[in-house]
Amino acid sequence: MVTLLNTVEDKVARDICRDYADAPDSLLEILHEVQHKHGHLTDEALRTIAQALNISRAEIHGVVSFYHDYKREVGAKLTFKICRAEACQAVGAKELIAEAEKAFGTKLDASAKDVALEAAYCLGNCALGPAVLVDDNLYGRVDVTKLQEIVARYKAKTS
């Protein structure tokens, strides 16, 4: 029996689409959940979502490439985001970025061995800036000392 690869369905994506009643308006939420389950968005998942929501694959690719948070490949073990929007910049985000670049041996918006160091433009924590998001954990009022503690904790986890 011959199976055409471009007809293979992603069961996880199919189930998640069904949870959202195959509603095209739920595309962002569906993409987010599928990525959370797989760690990235596979070709099979995108094909399945396009078919389930009855939208073109080009439309999905447009959305996925527009939003920086969607990953098409397996990502780093750890995503480390530092807010560099105005409120956080005013209270020391630049120093944190320099410290994180030094600690991980990579530049902002690049990846080291196991870490993706990324800029964020407001994490919704402005009153407690500077803000840092490590995977799903949000930290506020982060200074260089606190950043070093956070980095050490996550380095120990990923090594």
CA–CA dist 42, 133 (Å, integer) = 25
Single residue of 35, 125, 133, 134 touching ligand FES by CB under 6 A = 125
* Residue 48 in contact with ligand FES, rule: CB under 6 A: no
Structure tokens of 13? 């994506």
Q: Write the CB contacts of 77 (distance below 8 Å, at least 6 apart in sequence).
A: 114, 115, 158
Structural contact between residues 119 and 82, judged by C-beta atoms closer than 8 angstroms: yes
60 vs 147 by CB, closer to ligand FES:
147
State the minimum distance, in angstroms, from the CB of residue 97 to ligand FES: 12
* Residue 82 in contact with ligand FES, rule: CB under 6 A: no
State the minimum distance, in angstroms, from the CB of residue 140 to ligand FES: 8
CA–CA dist 25, 20 (Å, integer) = 9
* Residue 85 in contact with ligand FES, rule: CB under 6 A: yes
Residues of the shown chain interacting with ligand FES in the complex, contacts defined by CB under 6 A? 83, 85, 87-88, 122-126, 129, 131
